[in-house]
């Protein structure tokens, strides 16, 4: 009996002693308490932000799956104020607002706590209705390496990378830099509609040890975004989105894309303007391979899709937003010209173009081009016009016969003539199926298509079909 | 017995040794791990402390990050240049009138503890509407789109003040509920699809606004909000555009609202209306 009592006593004592160590074994993993580690993280970021008397410069990609990047210049001071400029909009004047470094969910966060428009314009452009660039005002501190500080925006997975500005006078040089990069961004959007063609495409050409890969780039100037499409040797097509930032790298004009383009084991990200070229082109060189972004003339499509229309009612609606397939010249020379005509006749903003339906008839009768105008109170006015289709060599020709029905038709005819002229050009239109409809505001499963004028190849309308 | 004593002794010695080895990694608390340092205060912060925190026990929250709000919505804080003027406006058009009629500490006793200022719009997902303000648990009111205030435009300033009076009436209702009889005046016309109801349709059905037709609680506070942001003549003019039936319903509701304020808070709502509307006019450029 005594023997058993000895064993039981021994085991009980050992269990008590060993259990008392359990908590400490877990604690030994970290040298500091969690709150101390977070506080240290906060102090580290505060010190970094205040370490540069001339501030930081960097590019913020709020959401590189749908939009591009914006250049920022920021100078932080100890009284928790920050001067900021950016090139998101043409007004690059510095703002002077508040910031803070606070405890985030897992790390220190840099928060722009009062509303600098350079930050808030990316979050929500309220003046333009609900229109976000997916930005935020709270940024998790990821880390610092060689002076480069990386942040992550929680909501949209945005990436913000800043480094010392290198300026000698932040106040003037930051604004000047933002003005330069803002202007550089226009290089892909300034188009001479008289001479341009929608078949002059931006192309990203990769030359990797003699092996070439070409990506056709549709550039969305509203969202600074490339829709890059390519076809491999086996004829398989693929597409990917690339956020774009026009920036300066070591003082040279450059394009930064995000995510980086991976081709043949090389990663292309920074494209520098080739100042010796006689045309605008940006070049990235990695491990002997080069990738070049430039305007290149491509052959026009065959137009045979006109024989395979996915529906009979074709719609273009301004309210759906933009798509690279809707050419800027179509917006300027057709839609905006109609709005100008209406303003001149009825007063500014009284009526504006809203949408058109084209009820297609390829059997020789009238196709009804129904144009809808909207007044300042949202009231709609419809006018109908007859255009007769004739298809030859995969090109569709429309003859304009005049008003179709209703009293509005003749009343508005002169004002709406640019759209009738677009459809009835003597050299005809090339039609192309474009897959499901996608635009910056609305996207639908409906099949879409584009009509390109062969008289003025800079004009291309993009819309969707009802069956 | 001697053996047992030896075993206990050996174990105790062993235990002390092991416990001693554990003691190095234990965490001793030497000072607070919470940051208790005094925050950096701007002139604006000091002004807000003097004019809202001290007299009314109300915090004005105008500096905040995404994680302080609904992260699913693209919201952002007000531009600090607009903070002082909007704060003065609500003090003059809300706090002072209530205090004047309800007693010196009326607002301090029944008040939201925090007012949050948001610069941008609060768009509702999957709905063609925006949220103008939010009152949470009677302690916090959030205002939206304050960066777009235009003090030269009466209607533009009326809107956020209407939001304030609307949300504050909710807080009063949380303290003292209104009579269930109110919901029986137009019981069949409340609808979750209120945003499909036009202004005129709402009036004809006996609601002062389309949002009032969403539920009795909103209906009640919409009467309050619209009375306190219009003159008596202005409110009567709105009601007069309703159908005869609609006018009768709205007047019945108005009577209950006026009685609610008189009986529960000894406030003459018409007198309050004069003060709040005059303050609205005085806030304009």
* Mean pLDDT value of segment B184-196: 94
A177: nearest Cα among A247, A130, A232: A247
Closest CB to B65: pick one of A79, A124, A138. Answer: A138
Supply the pLDDT for residue B18: 54
The two structure tokens encoding residue A383: 């006018």
Backbone torsion region of residue B51, taken as left when φ is above 0, otherwise alpha when ψ lies between -120 and 50, otherwise beta: alpha
Q: A160: pLDDT confidence band, cut at 50, 70 and 90?
A: very high
Chain A residues with CB-CB distance to B21 below 8 A: 21
Asked if the Cβ–Cβ distance from A6 to B4 is below 8 Å, we say: yes
In chain A, domain spans: 45-188, 200-297, 304-466
Average pLDDT score over residue span A229-258: 93
Contacts of A127 in chain B (CB under 8 A): 148
Best mean pLDDT range from A266-280, A318-332, B8-22, B265-279: B265-279
Residue A295 has pLDDT above 90, yes or no: no
For chain B, percent of residues with pLDDT exceeding 90: 69
Residue B173 reports pLDDT greater than 60? yes
Q: Which of residues 205-224 of B touch A (CB under 8 A)?
A: none
Q: Tell me the per-residue pLDDT of A30-80, one tens digit each, with 9 for 90 and over.
A: 677 777 777 888 999 999 999 999 999 999 999 999 999 999 999 999 999
pLDDT at B34 over 80: no
Tell me what pLDDT residue A3 has.
Answer: 63
pLDDT at A172 exceeding the cut of 70: yes
Q: Are B168 and B94 in contact (CB under 8 A)?
A: yes
The CATH architecture one would assign to domain A45-188 is Beta Barrel (2.40)
End-to-end CA distance of chain A: 94
Give A174-225 pLDDT, tens digit per residue. Answer: 999 999 999 998 887 778 898 889 888 889 999 988 889 999 998 888 899 9
Tell me what the mean pLDDT of segment A291-305 comes to: 89
Using CA atoms, how far apart are residues A404 and A406, in angstroms rounded to an integer? 7
The CA distance from A314 to the nearest CA of chain B, in Å, is 26
What is the average pLDDT across B240-266?
97
Contact state of B121 with A17 under an 8 Å Cβ cutoff? no
- Write down the pLDDT at residue B51: 94
If you average pLDDT over residues A106-130, what whole number do you get? 85
| Contact call for A9 and B8, based on CB within 8 A | yes
- pLDDT-derived band at B37, boundaries 50, 70, 90: confident
**pLDDT in the model for residue A234:** 87
The pLDDT value recorded for residue A264 is 87
Q: What is the CATH number of domain A200-297?
A: 2.40.128
Nearest to A115 among B19, B71, B79 (CB): B79
Chain A segment 300-359 residues within 8 A of B by beta carbon are none
Chain A contact present for B151, CB below 8 A: no
The reported pLDDT for the residue numbered A32 is: 72
CATH number belonging to domain B43-283: 3.40.390.70
Provide the ipTM: 0.77
Angle between helices B244-265 and B216-228 (to 10 degrees): 80
For chain A, how long is the longest CA-to-CA vector? 118
The overall average pLDDT reported for chain A is: 90
Closest-CA distance of chain B to residue A161, Å: 19
Contact assignment for B79 to A117 by CB distance below 8 Å:
yes
Q: Do B120 and A126 make contact, defined as CB atoms within 8 angstroms?
A: yes
- pLDDT average, residue stretch A382-391: 96
Contact A17 B14 (CB under 8 A): yes
The mean per-residue pLDDT over the stretch A227-255 comes to: 92
Long-range pairs, B48-53, Cβ under 8 A, ≥24: B48/B83, B48/B87, B51/B87, B51/B91, B52/B87, B52/B91, B52/B115
How does pLDDT run across B4-21, given as a tens digit for each residue?
566 566 665 555 555 555
Quick one: what percent of chain A has pLDDT higher than 70? 92
d(CA B175, CA A328): 58
Distance of alpha carbon B149 from alpha carbon B81, whole angstroms = 12
| pLDDT band at residue B123 under the 50/70/90 scheme | confident
- CA angle centred on A225, ends A224 and A229, rounded to 5°: 155
- Check whether A7 has a pLDDT greater than 70: no
pLDDT surpasses 60 at A166: yes
**What is the DSSP track for B195-248?**
GGS-HHHHHHHT-SSTGGGG-HHHHHHHHHHHHHTS-HHHHHHHHHTS-HHHHH
Residue A62's pLDDT is 96
The mean pLDDT value for A328-355 works out to 96
pLDDT at A153 over 70: yes
pLDDT tens sequence across A259-292: 999 998 999 999 999 999 988 899 999 999 999 9
Q: Which residue from B263, B73, B265, B236 is spatially nearest to B168, judged by alpha carbons? A: B265
> Residue A99: closest CA among chain B residues belongs to which residue?
B63
pLDDT over 90 for what percent of chain A? 72
- With beta carbons under 8 A apart, name residues in chain A contacting B63: 98, 100, 113-114
A-facing residues of B in 7-36 (CB < 8 A) are: 7-8, 11-12, 14-15, 18-19, 21-22, 25-27, 33-35
For the record, the structure tokens of A65 come out as 């799956």
CA dihedral for A460, A461, A462, A464, sign (positive or negative):
negative
Q: Which residues of A touch B13 (CB under 8 A)?
A: none
Q: Do A124 and B121 touch (CB under 8 A)?
A: yes
Domain ranges of chain B: 43-283
Q: In this predicted model, which residue has the larger pLDDT, B131 or A385?
A: A385
Residues 121-140 of B with CB under 8 A from A: 121, 123
B52-110 per-position pLDDT tens digit: 999 998 999 999 988 777 878 889 999 999 999 999 999 999 999 999 999 999 999 99
B145 close to A (CB below 8 A):
yes
Chain A residue with minimum CA distance to B26: A24
The 3-state secondary structure of A430-465 reads EEEEEEEEECCCCEEEEEEEEEEECCCCCCEEEEEE
Q: Touching check for B119 and chain A: CB below 8 Å?
A: yes
A2·B147 Cβ contact <8 A = no
């Amino acid at each position: 009996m005594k023997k058993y009592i000895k064993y039981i006593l021994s085991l009980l004592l050992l269990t008590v002693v060993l259990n008392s160590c359990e908590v400490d074994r877990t604690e030994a993993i970290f040298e500091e308490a969690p709150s101390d580690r977070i506080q240290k993280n906060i102090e580290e970021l505060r010190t970094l932000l205040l370490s540069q008397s001339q501030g930081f410069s960097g590019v913020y990609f709020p959401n590189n799956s749908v939009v591009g990047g914006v250049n920022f210049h920021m100078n932080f001071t100890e009284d928790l104020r920050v001067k900021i400029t950016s090139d998101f909009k043409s007004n690059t004047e510095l703002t002077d607002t508040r910031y803070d470094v606070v405890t985030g969910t897992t790390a220190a966060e840099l928060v722009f706590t009062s509303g600098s428009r350079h930050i808030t314009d990316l979050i929500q452009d309220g003046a333009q209705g609900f229109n976000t660039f997916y930005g935020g005002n709270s940024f998790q501190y990821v880390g610092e390496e060689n002076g480069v500080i990386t942040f992550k925006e929680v909501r949209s997975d945005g990436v913000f990378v800043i480094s010392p500005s290198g300026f000698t006078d932040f106040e003037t040089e930051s604004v000047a830099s933002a003005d330069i990069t803002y202007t550089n961004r226009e290089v892909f959007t300034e188009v001479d509609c008289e001479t341009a063609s929608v078949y002059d495409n931006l192309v990203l050409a990769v030359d990797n040890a003699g092996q070439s890969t070409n990506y056709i780039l549709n550039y969305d100037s509203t969202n600074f975004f490339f829709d890059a499409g390519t076809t491999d040797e086996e004829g398989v097509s693929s597409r990917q989105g690339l956020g774009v930032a026009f920036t300066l790298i070591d003082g040279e004009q450059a394009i930064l894309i995000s995510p980086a383009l991976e081709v043949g084991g090389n990663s292309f990200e920074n494209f520098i303007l080739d100042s010796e070229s006689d045309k605008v082109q940006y070049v990235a060189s990695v491990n002997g391979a080069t990738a070049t972004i430039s305007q290149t003339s491509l052959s026009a499509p065959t137009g045979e899709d006109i024989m395979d229309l996915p529906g009979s009612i074709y719609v273009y609606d301004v309210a759906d937003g933009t798509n690279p397939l809707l050419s800027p010249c179509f917006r300027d020379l057709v839609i905006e010209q109609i709005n100008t005509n209406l303003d001149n006749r009825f007063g500014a903003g009284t009526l504006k173009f809203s949408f058109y339906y084209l009820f297609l008839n390829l059997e020789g009768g009238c196709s009804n081009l129904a144009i809808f105008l909207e007044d300042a109170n949202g009231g709609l006015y419809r006018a109908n016009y007859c255009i007769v289709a004739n298809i030859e060599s995969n090109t569709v020709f429309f003859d304009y016969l005049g008003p179709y029905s209703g009293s509005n038709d003749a009343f508005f005819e002169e004002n709406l003539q640019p759209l009738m002229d677009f459809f009835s050009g003597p050299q005809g239109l090339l039609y192309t199926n474009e897959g499901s409809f996608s635009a910056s505001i609305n996207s639908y499963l409906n099949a879409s298509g584009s009509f390109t004028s062969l008289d003025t190849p800079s004009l291309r309308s993009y819309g969707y079909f009802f069956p | 017995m001697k053996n047992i004593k030896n075993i206990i002794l050996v174990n105790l010695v062993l235990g002390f040794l092991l416990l001693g080895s554990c003691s190095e990694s234990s965490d001793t608390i030497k000072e607070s791990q919470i940051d208790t340092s005094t925050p950096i205060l701007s002139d604006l912060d000091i002004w807000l402390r003097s004019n809202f925190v001290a007299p009314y026990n109300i915090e004005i929250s105008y500096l905040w990050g995404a994680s302080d709000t609904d992260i699913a919505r693209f919201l952002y804080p007000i531009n600090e240049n607009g903070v002082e003027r909007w704060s003065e406006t609500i003090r003059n058009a809300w706090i002072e009138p209530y205090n004047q009629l309800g007693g010196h500490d009326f607002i301090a006793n029944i008040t939201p503890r925090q007012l949050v200022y948001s610069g941008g719009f609060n768009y509702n997902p999957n709905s063609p509407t925006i949220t103008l303000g939010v009152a949470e648990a009677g302690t916090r009111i959030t205002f939206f789109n304050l960066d777009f205030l235009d003090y030269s435009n009466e209607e533009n300033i009326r809107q956020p003040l209407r939001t304030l009076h609307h949300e504050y009436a909710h807080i009063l209702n949380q303290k003292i509920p209104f009579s269930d009889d109110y919901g029986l005046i137009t019981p069949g016309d409340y609808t979750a699809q209120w945003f499909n109801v036009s202004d005129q349709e709402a009036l004809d059905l006996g609601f002062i606004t389309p949002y009032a037709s969403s539920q009795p609680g909103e209906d009640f506070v919409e009467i309050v909000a619209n009375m306190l942001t219009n003159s008596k003549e202005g409110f009567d003019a709105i009601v007069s555009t309703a159908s005869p039936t609609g006018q009768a319903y709205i007047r019945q509701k108005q009577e209950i609202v006026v009685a609610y304020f008189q009986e529960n808070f000894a406030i003459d709502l018409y007198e309050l209306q004069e003060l709040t509307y005059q303050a609205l006019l005085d806030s304009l450029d």
